Structure 1
Amino acid sequence: MPVAPPFPRLPSLNALRAFEAAARLGGFAQAAQELQVTPGAISAQVKLLEDDLGAPLFERSARGVRLTSLGARALPGFIAAFDGMSEAMRHLRQEATPGRVHIATLPALAQLWLAPRLPGLRAALPDMEISITALETPPNLKRVPFDLCLFYANHNGATPLCDDHILPVCTPELAHHLHHPRDLATATCLTDATWAGDWEIWAERALPDHAFTPRGPVFSLYALAVQEALAGAGVLIARRALVAPHLDSGALVAPFATSAPAPAPIAAWSLPGSISSPTAIALDRALRRSAAEPTKST
């Protein structure tokens, strides 16, 4: 009778991914955010791997998790392995769908900066299929299938597309009641939650000798805050590049002459050291040309 001993099996790929992400990022919550699952799912997958190995990979405490010496020794090999797998998958996608480009960008940039430019980009690149995913923070391009990131950024790998400026804007009707930046003390001020500090940045220039605290609603969607400003609900602390069509049309005006540079320009980047597809390179160049052109209000 032939002998059929149990064949050793590899651990679950999901468990290995959970360990690599948690170890590289320093916690289960961070890994869960990157892998788009819950921290409990990461914890369960790591526990499965530890049970399979018969040894702990993390020390757990009320303050979080910390790699054991075994986990720390294993991490570099797993980072290299998943880097290689991601690079192979990236090239496979480029070969399979050479005309497709996937952009990751901020929701506000997607709605107010990129969307108005899409018709021109499609006309300039008729054979290209452009997909867009809105994210609050830039993704790790080594771990997710995006070809291009478009965010406010000033790190070494990002190439600026255009500078931006911070300034209050409102309808012409509201502007008639605003003669000096100090008048904002009694005005309804509209704020985006992501850029809540923009009022402070602007006030440091416009009101250097006065303490200013904006009073008014805060929005989690910048496009909604813009719509409220257009409806006359208050004075929005704006990014000029995002409201430029409304300023050009006169639907919104800047009641004061003072503006302040945004902390970072609108910038684009792809994975450093990777071989970008010709399609992604073409889109990158088209975006740079488009950034220098005005957009029309919709």
Structure 2
Amino acid sequence: MSVAPPRPKFPPLNGLRAFEAAARLGGFAAAAEELGVTPGAITAHVKALEDSLGAKLFARHARGVRLTALGERVLPGFTRAFDELGGAVQTLRAEAAPRTVHIATLPAIAQLWLSPRLPGLRAAAPGISVSITAMEAPPNLKRAPYDLSLFYRAAGAEGAVLEDVIFPVCAPSLAERLRRPEDLERVPCISDTTWAEDWRHWAEVAMPGRGFAPRGPVFSLYALAVEEAVNGAGVLIGHGALVARHLAAGTLVAPFGTRVTLPRVLSLWSARRLRPGSAAARVAEWLREG
């Protein structure tokens, strides 16, 4: 009677994913954010992996963790492997649901630029379903299940749609009190935490050397800041692409002529080459042209 020898156990997949993400991103907290779990879960997965291997992949110290020599040697292979796995999963999703397009973008872009274009997109391509996920930072498209990513990126980045041009905007009633940029010191100036440096960038051009500092309400959602500007709560630095509808409707006006082009663009891109005629390619082409 033959006896089958015990098979070596494959290392836990969750542990391998946690190790690779933490090693590539430089910490457990960053890995947790990318994988959508808690830092404690990353710690537990890595410990379980190290226990199963009988070897350490990270050295723990007071300021965090660093890779051991073993961890450094094996990381490149796991990064390539998970990149390949991510690509294979994206291909599987695309083949399984070829008429569905998933887009990741900033909340402000989703609400103020992308959402108003969806009715026209549906009319132009009625057989395509578009799903939008709003997030504060671009996802790793080699791993995340998105076909397209729409974010502001450095000037010269691929997939440029529009330049990022900024200038103050406000309700028409408030604009009547503004004749020159220095008048901003006497009215509320709305700020948002997403683009906290907007006022400084604009004021350095419009009021050089004055050291202007906005005083007024601060919002964590740019779309909410825009609505409050429409409501007359104060003057906001508008991003041309995001306030265009309000300017066209007259609910916001630009009281000054000075406009500043930031060194970045609104960019629409994909981690893989889009097949001509595919749903994702058609959506990307329509958004760039529209």
SS state of the match for residue 262, structure 1? strand
Match in the other structure for 2:98: 98
Question: In structure 2, how many angstroms separate the alpha carbons of the residues matched to 1:164 and 1:80?
Answer: 34
Question: In structure 1, how many angstroms separate the alpha carbons of the residues matched to 2:249 and 2:182?
Answer: 27
Match in the other structure for 1:80: 80
Kindly indicate whether the alpha-carbon contact (under 8 Å) linking 1:94 and 1:277 is maintained by their aligned counterparts in 2.
no
Match in the other structure for 2:257: 257
Unaligned residue ranges in structure 1 (runs of 5+): 291-298
SS state of the match for residue 11, structure 1? coil
Match in the other structure for 2:134: 134
Structure 2 counterpart of 1:114, which letter? Answer: L
Instruction: Kindly provide the CA deviation profile for residues 28-49 of structure 1, in whole angstroms up to 9, marking residues without a partner as x.
Output: 1111111011111111100000
How far 1:262 sits from its partner (Å)?
A: 2.8
Instruction: Kindly provide the CA deviation profile for residues 136-159 of structure 1, in whole angstroms up to 9, marking residues without a partner as x.
Output: 111111110110010111366521
How far 1:240 sits from its partner (Å)?
A: 1.5
TM-score by length of 1: 0.93
How far 1:164 sits from its partner (Å)?
A: 2.8
Unaligned residue ranges in structure 2 (runs of 5+): none
Kindly indicate whether the alpha-carbon contact (under 8 Å) linking 1:105 and 1:135 is maintained by their aligned counterparts in 2.
yes
Question: In structure 1, how many angstroms separate the alpha carbons of the residues matched to 2:253 and 2:11?
Answer: 60
Question: In structure 1, how many angstroms separate the alpha carbons of the residues matched to 2:155 and 2:261?
Answer: 17
Aligned length: 290
Match in the other structure for 1:296: none
Identity of matched residues, %: 60
Question: In structure 2, how many angstroms separate the alpha carbons of the residues matched to 1:180 and 1:73?
Answer: 61
How far 1:273 sits from its partner (Å)?
A: 5.6
Match in the other structure for 1:59: 59
Question: In structure 2, how many angstroms separate the alpha carbons of the residues matched to 1:111 and 1:288?
Answer: 17
Question: In structure 2, how many angstroms separate the alpha carbons of the residues matched to 1:155 and 1:45?
Answer: 39
Relative to 1, partners in 2 of residues 1:172 and 1:259: Cα closer, same or farther, differing over 3 Å? Answer: same
SS state of the match for residue 263, structure 1? strand
Question: In structure 1, how many angstroms separate the alpha carbons of the residues matched to 2:26 and 2:267?
Answer: 28
Match in the other structure for 1:244: 244
Question: In structure 1, how many angstroms separate the alpha carbons of the residues matched to 2:2 and 2:265?
Answer: 69
Instruction: Kindly provide the CA deviation profile for residues 227-263 of structure 1, in whole angstroms up to 9, marking residues without a partner as x.
Output: 1111111111111211111111111111111111133
Root mean square deviation of aligned Cα: 1.6
Instruction: Kindly provide the CA deviation profile for residues 5-35 of structure 1, in whole angstroms up to 9, marking residues without a partner as x.
Output: 4332212111110001111111111111110
Instruction: Kindly provide the CA deviation profile for residues 159-198 of structure 1, in whole angstroms up to 9, marking residues without a partner as x.
Output: 1111231111111111111111111112111111010100
SS state of the match for residue 264, structure 1? strand
How far 1:276 sits from its partner (Å)?
A: 7.6
Instruction: Kindly provide the CA deviation profile for residues 212-240 of structure 1, in whole angstroms up to 9, marking residues without a partner as x.
Output: 00011111111110111111111111112
Kindly indicate whether the alpha-carbon contact (under 8 Å) linking 2:274 and 2:281 is maintained by their aligned counterparts in 1.
no
TM-score by length of 2: 0.96
Relative to 1, partners in 2 of residues 1:276 and 1:143: Cα closer, same or farther, differing over 3 Å? Answer: farther
Write out aligned runs for 1:133-172 (5 A). Answer: 133-154=133-154, 158-172=158-172
Match in the other structure for 1:23: 23
